[in-house]
Amino acid sequence: MRLPSCWDARLRSLNEERRAGDEERRAGGTSDLPSIVLPMSLSFPLTATDTPSTPEKIAAVHAAPGFGVHFTDHMAVATWRQGSGWGEDAVVPYGPFQLDPSTAVLHYAQEVFEGLKAYRHDDGSIWLFRPKRNAERLRASARRLMLPELPVDDFLTSIEQLVTVDAAWVPDAQGGEASLYLRPFMFANESFLGVRAAQQVTYCVIASPVGPYFAGGVQPVNIWVTDQYSRAGKGGTGAAKCGGNYASSLIAQYEGAEHGCSQVLFADAGTGVNTEELGGMNIMVVTAGGELITPELTGTILEGVTRDSILTIASELGLNPVARAITVAEIFDRIDSGDIVEAFACGTAAVLTPVAEFRSHHGAHVIGAEPGERTLQIRAAILDVQYGRAADRHGWLRRVL
Ligand SMILES: *Cc1c(COP(=O)(O)O)cnc(C)c1O
């Protein structure tokens, strides 16, 4: 459903008013409230837990972290209220929210999130990888979902405060791939069933130690190419990192599982012809001639930090990076003719996941059961920067501790 254009304008001006209001308040209060001077930026002061985890408990989690099952002792929180903007920022003991059953997010899914990691280098120092990108993307996602924008510096402070407080939870690299996964998110936290942008919003960051994504070495996966479901349509939320996109992709994930596939590739919703991306990762292919091709950003694809990083370093690895429209048929045909020699999915969690084969209702297009040489080379290059084993030539790392 498309809103009438007068609504577009109204929504835009609402968002602008809101942003202007936030900025004015941050600059020292509005004219009608001259006595209220709010701090320029959030500091996320610590209220420490009374029951910190013992080193033994943390070591046990690090020994078998899983993915997203264990969380650190604290979380960062902040609240945005219409009229007063961002505040109530703190790092507090990790724990449940109490939500009224009418809380807006539970009904209308006004929610956005991010995903990034903190890496421990061999000298014990702790680093983030391109966190400003995540901060900017969270702002862009929030704009699309009519949520308030958290300033980049406040995002960075929330992350750095939490990582500092829970630094003991950042694992050693353990052969190169263990890290602390950080999950910032923001949701409509207002008890109201009306359909409009929430006037109270909660921002939160939680952290979870994660081990190597591929515990037994990098394993290529099969990818189901669905022709029944789409992930995102023109004018929709495809370029925003919002929970709703994931909810709508689950059914295709299950369709893929029935065909022996662990991931699903979506084509564009309009024509069903062009390759877009997976439910939570971008897709790239490597040709025999050394081209690294990935679908160009169309407004329906999520712009991955990993995608951008790979495109940036590709030429340093002797590959020719190309972002352009690429049809599913072209990928299938060129795999069958031996001209596309590798394919992989990319995202923060697994960095690069090699593709063994693409499957669809019309048959399978097999690349191979072993990870490709280029795929492993790119994967190692990204990991080496993240873990400080290679020079950070693009200024991608930001030190926390
Ligand atoms: C998060 C995400 C990605 C990958 O982004 P990274 O910044 O590389 O982690 C790709 N596609 C979708 C749909 C995503 O949600």
For residue 33 the two structure tokens come to 């409230």
Is the pLDDT confidence value at 22 over 70?
no
Give the mutation target among 282, 303, 311, 351 for probing the ligand 1 site: most ligand atoms within 8 A of CB: 282
pLDDT at 350: 92
CA distances from 3 to 14, 18, 61, 332 (A): 15, 20, 48, 37
pLDDT at position 6 over 50: no
Q: pTM to 2 decimals?
A: 0.91
Distance 306 CA to ligand 1 centre (A): 8
What are the structure tokens assigned to 298, written together?
A: 């169309």
- Report the atom number in ligand 1 closest to the C-alpha of 306: 8
| 126 contacts 72 by C-beta, under 8 angstroms | no
Q: Please determine, for residue 201, whether its predicted confidence score (pLDDT) is greater than 70.
A: yes
Q: Whose alpha carbon is nearest atom 15 of ligand 1?
A: 280
Which residues neighbour 79 within 8 Å (Cβ) at sequence distance 6 or greater?
86, 87, 88, 189, 200, 201, 202, 203
Q: What percent of the chain has pLDDT over 70?
A: 90
- Among the residue ranges 117-126, 128-137, 209-218, 342-351, the one predicted with the least confidence is 209-218
pLDDT band for 27, please (50, 70, 90 cuts). low
Percentage of the residues of the chain whose pLDDT score is greater than 90: 86
Distance 50 CA to ligand 1 centre (A): 36
Contact, 306 vs 297, CB < 8 A?
no
What is the CA(280)–ligand 1 centre distance, in A? 5
**Structural domains for the chain:** 55-210 (3.30.470.10), 221-392 (3.20.10.10)
Candidate from 144, 230, 281, 301 with most ligand 1 atoms within 8 A of CB, to mutate: 281
- What atom in ligand 1 is closest to the CA of residue 137? 7
Tokens of 349: 């969690």
How far, in Å, from the CA of 216 to the mean position of ligand 1?
A: 24
Average pLDDT over residues 139-154: 98
List pocket residues of ligand 1, CB cut-off 6 Å.
Answer: 115, 241, 277, 280-282, 302, 304-307, 347-348
Where do runs of H (alpha helix) occur along 91-180?
105-108, 131-144, 152-165
Distance between CA 368 and CA 57 in Å, rounded? 41
Nearest to 210 by CA among 346, 347, 63, 353: 63
Mean pLDDT of the chain: 92
Nearest to 116 by CA among 70, 74, 158: 158
CA gap 222, 215 in Å, rounded: 18
Q: Is the pLDDT of residue 24 over 70?
A: no
Segment 228-286, tens digit of pLDDT:
999 999 999 999 999 999 999 999 999 999 999 999 999 999 999 999 999 999 999 99
- Predicted pLDDT at 19: 59
How many residues does the structure list for the chain? 401
Q: How confident is the model at residue 2 (pLDDT cuts 50, 70, 90)?
A: very low
Nearest CA to ligand 1 atom 10: 281
What pLDDT is recorded for position 54? 98
Q: 46: CA distance to ligand 1 center in Å?
A: 30
Number of H helices, E strands in the chain: 9, 17
* Alpha carbon of 160 to ligand 1 centroid (Å): 21
